[in-house]
Structure 1
Amino acid sequence: MALGCKIGPSILNSGLFDLEAECLWMLDSGSDDLYLNVMEGHFVPNFNFGHSVVESLQKHLGQDLFFDMHMMVSGPKQWVKSMAEVGVDQYIFHLEATENPGDLIKVIWANGMRAGFAVKPETTVQYLAPQASLQEMALVRTVEPGFGGQKFTEDMVSKFQWLRTQFLSLDGEVGGGAGSDTLHMCAEALANMIVSISAIMRSEDPISVINLLRNAFSEAAQRCSLDQ
């Protein structure tokens, strides 16, 4: 496995009043991309923003930036076209929110985006497996979607580890509550995408936090590689 990882601060806890400046701050601090959580008040109880905000960020931050969307929404198919039109690169939907994930994946691909699936903590591994070979990205939530600042649930790591060992080509993310004290578990489970909501966005020194996360991942991945 590669010893590097991509770190994408989530803007879930950003202030919308000066969202552009906060995103630029994260990018200047060394993040690889931006991770945007979309909530419409049904799949999760919170509501934040839709494709118009993404379009504005694309316009002001630049076309080369990778936009990674975690769609915490009911009926994710209806959002695909609008998100593709504003420049989203990766569209992650919840398996629990659709009855026909295979059809949704085809629609995502047809609109020029990478497809990924996410699952809540209570969703079983057996439910994940039939879909895993069809997609580029797997996100196993270690906290309930919809709220930042929750504590990392260690039991979810073994679920993700099983998934990654069965489908090695997947990019993988163990999402929610990840920090320097839990990152070694993510690395040893072969996660190569790290999303941080609170640890980076609430820090007064995000450069140090991003470097800490990257170094912690590299050390843990190196140990994992030597053990195999």
Structure 2
Amino acid sequence: MAAASPKAIVSPSVLASNFADLGNEIRRMMHCGAEWVHMDVMDGHFVPNITMGAPVLASVHKTVDNVFMDCHMMVADPKRWVKPVAEAGGKSYTFHIEALSDPENAHEIVDLIHSTGMRAAVAISPDTPSSAISDRLGNSVDMLLVMTVVPGAGGQKFMQRCVPKVAELRARFPQKDIQVDGGVGPGTVGCCARAGSNVIVAGTALFGAEKPADVIADFKQQIDSSKERWGTDRALEGLEDAGK
């Protein structure tokens, strides 16, 4: 029996939410059909901005029932924060390969993440090739994240030149979750889905939508209808129109 295709998942980025009402904002997205919420943790070193840390994650974990926090760690020392994030209720921990002094030692942080019970994921920034994720690393993590904007700030324009990396990773890792993050919305989600992404991060496109439930449903439909293209030469059809 063939293995099931990875599930369509939408992970709203809380950077686009009203932080003064964060708990209710997250509940609203979950009620609209989002399986995860994307928590961007920035330390002011790996990227210039500072956002939230473990105390905010812990508050969300305590106040929002059954929340799956998809923690995107844009930090200079990803190993340092694994246990604090796990203790704060994080469910998935994404580290950037660019933050490692020696990418060959990435398996050490993956093992540490898994030892806490969290899912492990590795991210690549726009100028990092997908080949930076070795077969060994890709097979050891639970998810691969392709950034389609420069890490560190919301509201940037989608970089369509990053999408072929999604297709390359999907060809090598057909059963893995592959996430795309950065400038994704109704006009750009299609090419991400066709290339092979099954986990979509979106901020303004969801928190700013009049009917976010409809947007989430559309994202999932586009992923599910694209699965037959994955791993074929049709995966990048229409890419030239993305982001325009």
Length-normalised TM-score, structure 1: 0.92
Residue of 208, 215, 227 corresponding to 2:214: 208
Q: Which amino acid aligns with 2:21?
A: D
Q: Which residue in 1 is equivalent to 2:185?
A: 179
List per-residue Cα deviations over 1:58-106 (Å, max 9, x = no partner): 11111x3221100011101110011111221110000001123121111
Is 2:67 the partner of 1:65?
A: yes
SS at match of 2:73: strand
Q: Which residue in 2 is equivalent to 1:94?
A: 96
Q: Report the more deviating stretch, 35-44 or 1-10.
A: 1-10
Distance across 2 between alignment mates of 1:207 and 1:118: 27
SS at match of 1:133: helix
State the percentage of identical aligned residues: 37
TM-superposed deviation, 1:138: 0.2
Distance across 2 between alignment mates of 1:181 and 1:13: 18
Length-normalised TM-score, structure 2: 0.86
* 8 Å Cα contact 2:170/2:230 also seen in 1: no
List per-residue Cα deviations over 1:23-72 (Å, max 9, x = no partner): 1111112211111110111111111111111111111111x322110001
Q: Which residue in 1 is equivalent to 2:240?
A: none
Distance across 2 between alignment mates of 1:154 and 1:178: 10
SS at match of 1:90: strand
Change beyond 3 A, Cα 1:181–1:79 = same
Q: Which amino acid aligns with 2:26?
A: C
* 8 Å Cα contact 2:148/2:162 also seen in 1: yes
Query: Cα RMSD over matched residues?
Result: 2.0
Q: Which amino acid aligns with 2:222?
A: A
Structure 1: any 5+ residue segments left out of the alignment? none
Structure 2: any 5+ residue segments left out of the alignment? 236-244
Q: Report the more deviating stretch, 136-145 or 8-17.
A: 8-17
Q: What pairs with 1:113-124 in structure 2 (closer than 5 Å)?
A: 113-124=118-129
Q: Which residue in 1 is equivalent to 2:238?
A: none
Q: Which residue in 2 is equivalent to 1:221?
A: 227
Q: Report the more deviating stretch, 66-75 or 202-211.
A: 202-211
List per-residue Cα deviations over 1:143-172 (Å, max 9, x = no partner): 111111111111111112111211223210
Distance across 1 between alignment mates of 2:19 and 2:180: 26
